[in-house]
Structures are given as C-alpha cells and as structure tokens.
Amino acid sequence: MKLFFHLGRYFILIRRVFSKPEKVSVYMRQIVHEIDNIGISSLPIIAIISFFMGGVITIQAAFGFTSPIIPLYALGFTTRESMLLEFSPTIVCLILAGKIGSNIASEIGSMRITEQIDALEIMGINSAGFLILPKIAAGVLIFPFLIAISMFLGIFGGYIMGMATGACSSYEFIFGIQAFFEPWKLYYSFTKVITFAFLITSISSYFGYYTQGGALEVGKSSTSAVVYSSILILIFNFIITQLFFT
Amino acid sequence: MIEIKNISKTFGDRLVVDDVSFVFEQGKTNLIIGESGSGKTTIMKLMVGLHEIDGGEILYDGENFPTLGVKEKQDVRKKIGMLFQGGALFDSQTLEDNIKFPLDMFSDMTEEEKLDRVNFCLDKVQLTNRNKLYPGELSGGMKKRAALARAISNNPQYLFCDEPNSGLDPKTAIVIDNLIQSLTHEFNITTIVITHDMNSVVEIGEKVLYIYKGKPWWTGNGKDILQTTNPELLDFVFASGFMKEVFNAVNKK
C-alpha cells in the first residue's frame, strides 16, 4: 500500500512540476544554474572514472583474449561496446545518482525543513515547479553530454592502456572501435541516459520535497533518493534493453 | 482586512483549532497570542493556506480563500508577505537577491527599479549597504530584519509574522516590534503577529486574540490585557514572577 501512496504522490508532484511557470525568464536562469550545479561539477569525477574504467576493460579483455583465432582489434571493439552499451549510460548514471541524487534531495529537504519552500508557496509561487522543473530540465539536457564525454574518455583510456601495455597496436585498436558499428546502439544508449536523467532528478526531488522533521530526516531522504533512483535505473535499464534488443 | 469565521482543524484525532473567529483589521498590528502548542501557528498556517481548514471561512477582503482555485489562491498570495520564525531566507542567495526575488517573479520593473526597491527595503529595516551578504553571514536579528525586508518588497497588503522575536535579545526584539508596527502604519497593511512575548503584546498589540487550547479565549488590546480577570490569561501573562512584580510595583505607584 505504501508503494501506491508514494507512486500517487510522485505523479501528483510531477503534474505540479510541469504546470505553467510563473515567469519563464526566471526559470531559464535557474536551468542554467542547475546545468552548472548538476552537470559541470560532475565532469571531473566522470572523466576520471571513465578513463580508468576504459583502461581496465582493455587490460582485462587483453588478458582474456589469449586464443590466436581472436583478432587483436577485438580489444578496441570490446572496449567500445562495453563503454557505449553499459558502462557510460548505466554505471556512470548510477554514480551520478549517488552524487547528484543526494545533492538534490538534501538541498530541497533542507529548504523544506527551514520553511524556504513554505516561503515560496506563500509568495504565490508553485514551489514544486520552481525548484524541480529546472533540475529535471538541466539533467535531461546535460546528462547526454556528460555521457558522451564519458564514452569518449573511456575509449581513449582503453586506447592509452592498450598502447602502454603493448596489448595491441594503435591501428588494431582504432580499427576495433570502428568495426561492426551499428548506430542504433547510440539511440539505445542515449534513450537510457535521458530516462535515467529524468528518474534521478525527479525521484531525488520527490524525496527532498516531502522531507519532514529535521537534519536527520534530510539525511534519510538523501539515502532514500540514492537507493530508489539506483533501483529504478536498474529496472528501467532492463526494460529499455528488452525493448531495443527484442 | 482579514476575517476568520468559525475555523477549525484537527490533526488525526487531535482538535488543534476549535471554532475560532476573529477580524484582523487593516492598518493595525493584530496579535495572536497563546502558550506553545495552543494552536496559534496552526491558525496562521490555515490563513495562508499551508494547511487546509476542516471547517469555517477565511475572508481576505471578502474573498473566501479556502474555496478559491489554485490560480486565484496564488493571486491572493502575491499580496501576502510573511516573516517566518527562522527567517526562511534562501541560503544560496545574497540579501539583494532574496529581496529582489518576489520582484523578479511578479513585477515588470527594470533591474534599476528593482535595485532601488531593494535598497529602500534594506533602509527600512536598517540594513543599508548589506546587499551582498549571504544569510549565513548574518546574526539572528539581522536575519529577521532581512526576512522582513523580503516580506515587504512586493508591497504586501497582508503581513504575517510568526514569532518575530523568538531567539532575540530584548533590545533587538523591540527593534523588530517597532519595525513591524511602523511598516504596518506607514503602508496601511493588515498585519498578523504570532507571539508569546509579553513585551510585544503590550508594545504593539493594537488588537489581541488569546488562544487557549485551540479556542478563542480572550480578545482586546495590549493595554487591556494587564487588567484582565480571565484566569487562564492571567496565568499566561504573569507566568513569570518578574512580570508580576513589575505589575504590582506599577499599580502601587
């Protein structure tokens, strides 16, 4: 029953979020601020993780591909497929759920317990729209760029590690990352990214918005935001994969 | 003018506000007083629509607020300024941005006009040239004054103040009280102040509603209150021995 309560309340909140903004120019300014807050600030962690993960994938693949019938360009191919299909769109989004999700939930939760949300309501502002819509819009806009950078850096990391360890030649790796490329897989990846961006920002906002109590409850909301965002990312990953691969 | 008629509110099986009626007059500081947990903040939250009433009417210049649609409620709320107990300033914004915020949302002023208005409001609350400070850099009293500046920035017709003196030293509390009263008179605002500070009651209470266990128990003004014979109100007013001694000393003279 609690699941239905949360689902109902979540959809009511989303309806409020997408109601007409009071002043579009102020919302646009908020979106730009959120793009910086959500997106740009996440760039360093994404870059580091992606570069090293790409490298690790290449090294592990090189270690596994011992058979002489497997061509060396398979290293580039494997790294590309891993990064494009799963690591960048799903694992990086799970990492972002931890970083951004807890940030959003604690920010909105703190505003709730210090009556800042009440202050917005009393001013005649749709607090749900004003606080949450710019976060969702910023997430949906900036996540694809972050993930594209993650994909590029992951493959680049694989290339560097491949060269450094002598697992394959530059030509073989580059040939591998171009081999058997199917563009629809990019649609698949970015469909996932946009869906996950919406889930992370909206679910985290939901938990923050309905925080009740004090600092302890803000912490609990942050935890719930990360846990539920992560679970839903995994569920939707499965659903979208089923839709694209069957 | 705001009139509440027979409003009531229950939380679960607990009756928190029980059939309260009162008229809050324009151009006067109207006080709701009572012990902690007596229901006074709930009454205020009902009046501004943060809680829904179970029964009764809340009339803003004749318009029954609870029955209005979302859009109409927002229109009424644009005429409301509110000073929250903790200030409720936006932490991530400077004082200037905090005070400018309602103007950004609802006015067609130019940036220059908005800045003039911000400076005017900061002058009014004696925070001149503090535009670029963040709420985290302010003392408790300054936060209250800054919140008051934000509350009046959009020329409200109705001003709600939730325990404006809580956590302040007596001297700063008097400054805040006087500010609220002078703004009320100067701009002819309908002001509602929630308090349990007896200094405030005597100093600025032009119309006072005493709430006892969710019920309207006594009405009058800040001067009448010292002459009351109502036993519950006497207990409240003279809860501190010091207040009693002062009162007796004044009476002897």
User: Testing the interface with A: which of B84, B97, B160, B161 to mutate, by most A Cβ within 10 A?
Assistant: B84
Percent of chain A with pLDDT over 70: 100
How much is the mean pLDDT over chain A?
Answer: 93
Query: What's the pTM?
Result: 0.87
Residues of B in contact with A26 (CB under 8 A): 104-105
Alpha carbon distance B200, A244 (integer Å): 68
Whether residue B35 is predicted with pLDDT greater than 90 in this model: the reply is no
pLDDT band at A128 (very low <50, low <70, confident <90, very high): very high
Burial class (CB in 10 A: 0-12, 13-18, 19+), A67: exposed
Say how far apart CA A127 and CA A141 lie, in whole Å.
21
Q: Show the tokens assigned to A87.
A: 């690591």
For A120, name the nearest residue in chain B, comparing CA atoms only: B102
Indicate the domain borders of chain B. Answer: 1-79+159-164+189-253
**How large is the average pLDDT for residues A51-79?**
88
Collapsing DSSP states into helix, strand and coil, what is residue B212?
Answer: strand
Q: Do A124 and B84 count as a contact with CB atoms less than 8 A apart?
A: no
What is the rounded CA–CA span in Å between residue A89 and residue A53? 13
Judged by average pLDDT, the poorest of A166-180, B2-16, B46-60, B224-238 is: B224-238
Sequence length of chain B is 253
What mean pLDDT comes out for the span B234-244?
73
Chain B 147-176, CB below 8 Å of chain A: which residues? 154, 160
- Cβ distance B106 to A126 less than 8 Å, yes or no, reads no
Q: Helix or strand or coil: residue B129?
A: coil
Q: What is the CATH number of domain B1-79+159-164+189-253?
A: 3.40.50.300
End-to-end Cα, chain B, rounded Å: 39
3-state secondary structure of A34: helix
Interface test with A, best of B42, B46, B82 (most A CBs within 10 A): B82
What kind and span of H or E run contains B3?
Answer: strand B2-11
Identify the contact set of chain A against chain B, taking CB-CB distances under 8 A. 22-23, 26, 110-111, 114-116, 118-119, 121-126
* Tens of pLDDT, residues B173-188: 888 888 889 989 998 9
Greatest C-alpha distance within chain A: 72
